[in-house]
Amino acid sequence: MISVVVLISGSGSNLRALLEATSAVDYPAHVVAIGADREADGLGHASDFGIPSFDVPYTSFSSREEWGEELAEQLRAWNADLIVLSGLMRLLPESVVDEFGPRIINTHPAYLPEFPGAHGVRDALASGASETGASVIVVDNGVDTGPILAQERVPVLPDDTEASLHERIKPVERRLLIDAVRRVATGELDLTTPA
């Protein structure tokens, strides 16, 4: 059984799917804390599941590095086996990635290396592509450039909006994330040599 800390910025629907998966007695991971870089709506899932949460508000710090140091203090305290970024809309400072990597994984709503960054869904739609996807990667110091642990194609429909496309991608992200965490927990996936 491995311990997991999840970091979010938004509604946390992907986080909730992971929390529901960890409720299964045979799932080999449990979430010990949920953190956010703002007063994210998704922190409400923590209270629903009786899990501690913390908020390190990015806007309260004068730099990404200062924010990162406070975040690192929290992560050290929880000392989790795995850190999952699930809708964290913030790049981690190199100091955090260097300290906790490669035990940090991230879900991204595109078929990396296609459409990295904060607007992957919007960019895929704007490109006119007929398909995009979802990916789970190891976090490195680039922008969505880490080793790919899992990914799957998702069709783009002609009448898609950014919202409708994103809602079609998220269930795929959730399935890939739940499976990736399970594979890390069982040792099937070794983050130090994921390729």
Residues that bind ligand GRF (CB under 6 A): 8, 10-15, 42, 86-87, 107-109, 170, 173
What residue type is 109 in one-letter code? P
Catalytic one of 30, 45, 108, 119:
108
Residue number with the smallest Cβ distance to ligand GRF: 87
Looking from the CA of 84 toward its CB, the CA atoms found within 13 Å total 33
Q: Report the length, in residues, of the chain.
A: 195
Shortest spacing between CB 135 and ligand GRF, in angstroms: 9
Radius of gyration for the chain, computed over Cα atoms and rounded to the nearest angstrom:
16
Determine whether 30 is an active site residue.
no
* 4 vs 73, beta carbon nearer ligand GRF: 4
Burial class (CB in 10 A: 0-12, 13-18, 19+), 46: buried
* 41 vs 99, beta carbon nearer ligand GRF: 41
Tell me how far apart the alpha carbons of residues 91 and 65 are, in angstroms, rounded to a whole number. 11
CA 189 to chain centre: 17
Shortest spacing between CB 65 and ligand GRF, in angstroms: 22
Tell me how far apart the alpha carbons of residues 37 and 61 are, in angstroms, rounded to a whole number. 11
* 66 vs 170, beta carbon nearer ligand GRF: 170
Shortest spacing between CB 5 and ligand GRF, in angstroms: 15
Shortest spacing between CB 79 and ligand GRF, in angstroms: 24
Catalytic residue positions, numbered: 108
